[in-house]
A = this chain, B = another copy of it.
Amino acid sequence: MTKTRIMIALVVLLAGLKSNGQEALFGGQEIVSPEINKDKSVTFRLLAPAADSVFITGDFLPTTKMKTPMGEMDAPGKKLLSKNGEGLWTYTTEPLASELYNYSFIVDGMTVRDPNNPFVIRDVSSLTNIFIIGGGKADNYKVNDVPHGTVAKRWYDSPGLGMDRRITIYTPPGYEDSKEEYPVLYLLHGAGGDEEAWMDLGRTSQIIDNLIAEGKAQPMIIAMPNGNVTQDAAPGMGSDGFYKPVFMAPKTMDGTYEANFMDIIKFVENNYRVKANKENRAIAGLSMGGFHSFHISRYYPNTFDYVGLFSAAIMPREDATGEVYNNINETLEQQYKNGLELYYIAIGKTDFLYKANQDLKKQLDEIGMPYEYVETDGGHIWRNWRIYLTDFAPKLFK
């Protein structure tokens, strides 16, 4: 085959794939969606000539109210796209504030991904498309032209849980070329999450790379373990293979994880150049991970100088029997007496755990334990957890 024939072959192959095989398989379309316009409005497009209705739903639309036995709660809004003569559906938003947003289309009642946007994040068993509006706080969620840390997926031995388990480890820019020792933040996910969640949904490596580059956060190692004690790894990444993930894995809030957390600390401190002392350990988590952080930090009351509770569940379920959950007040008091640099509580005004966190504040007030309290708009959502991480990380290891 001559050079020219190979060139022709390549072009023809691509054309063929686009118009026939791969086009059908992949569903790609020669249109751009989403398109971020100059005024920061966003245009969405979907080619669906056979559809009777195409809606978009996403967290940038005004929420609607849904009734529940607990009262009204927020549900994502939706908007109808308009269809042109070629069957191209279009919708343009208002100008949007800087944020990482997610969305889906609803075509004749069925929720589908945007075939022109390959960027998705998995939350529990579902994928949604994402996009970022820059020019504000979401600039911290972008990969900017700054030094980048390394993100490793490693397996460690957990003797307590009797298995090798997968963990995500962020080491800061320069770690490999230095002889320095670093502080460590243990960053825990919520129910339905795993060792991928803080990286994929939380944009942790981007946030920390950017904060370090801006001189706002100390270079630190971040350990993101899997908090579901029956899993060795995230769905699809472990020996359970591919299966449909569920929101609440068994045994995730029965004390087993907290009681075996030292396996994780031991692994990190034996395998990385860390400052292995209380002054250089932080623990934080969202929702169930906030619950884990609350209980781990008082169960090992002389281990962490920094604790972050992001939209945290607090009190154990009534069926929880783990000894971790005994003597809550006593261990909290012990933790306080041992000394703490920062006890950080953050919650959204509409979070279903708002009241639980107000109760925690009262409990801490009663034992005279100081804390920093941050209240934001919004509820139990990743948008808030990225904000809390961006606010919390600069306060560490100063």
- Bitwise, A21-57 to B at CB < 8 A (1) or not (0) is 1101111100010000000000000011111100001
Whether A27 contacts B108 by the Cβ 8 Å rule is no
Whether B113 contacts A113 by the Cβ 8 Å rule is yes
Question: Is A236 an interface position by the 8 A CB rule?
Answer: yes
Question: Is A106 an interface position by the 8 A CB rule?
Answer: yes
Given contact pairs A6-B315, A118-B126, A126-B26, A355 touches B1 in the complex (Cβ within 8 A): yes
Whether A28 contacts B239 by the Cβ 8 Å rule is no
- Bitwise, A145-162 to B at CB < 8 A (1) or not (0) is 101101111110000000
Question: Is A4 an interface position by the 8 A CB rule?
Answer: yes
Whether B164 contacts A148 by the Cβ 8 Å rule is yes
Whether B12 contacts A68 by the Cβ 8 Å rule is yes
How long is the Cα–Cα vector from A51 to B109 in the complex, in angstroms? 9
Question: Is A80 an interface position by the 8 A CB rule?
Answer: no
Question: Is A9 an interface position by the 8 A CB rule?
Answer: yes
- Closest B residue to A26 by beta carbon equals B126
Chain B residues within 8 Å of A21, by CB:
66, 73-76
Question: Is A394 an interface position by the 8 A CB rule?
Answer: no
Which residues of A approach B to under 8 Å, CB–CB? 1-4, 6-10, 12-16, 20-22, 24-28, 32, 47-52, 57-59, 66, 68-70, 73-76, 78, 102, 104, 106-113, 115-120, 122-128, 130-132, 142-145, 147-148, 150-155, 164, 166, 173, 176, 233, 235-239, 241-242, 244-245, 247-248, 271, 313-318, 352-353, 355-356, 359, 380
15 residue pairs A–B, Cβ–Cβ below 8 Å: A1-B359, A3-B315, A6-B313, A12-B68, A21-B66, A25-B58, A25-B104, A27-B112, A120-B120, A120-B127, A132-B242, A147-B155, A150-B153, A152-B152, A154-B176
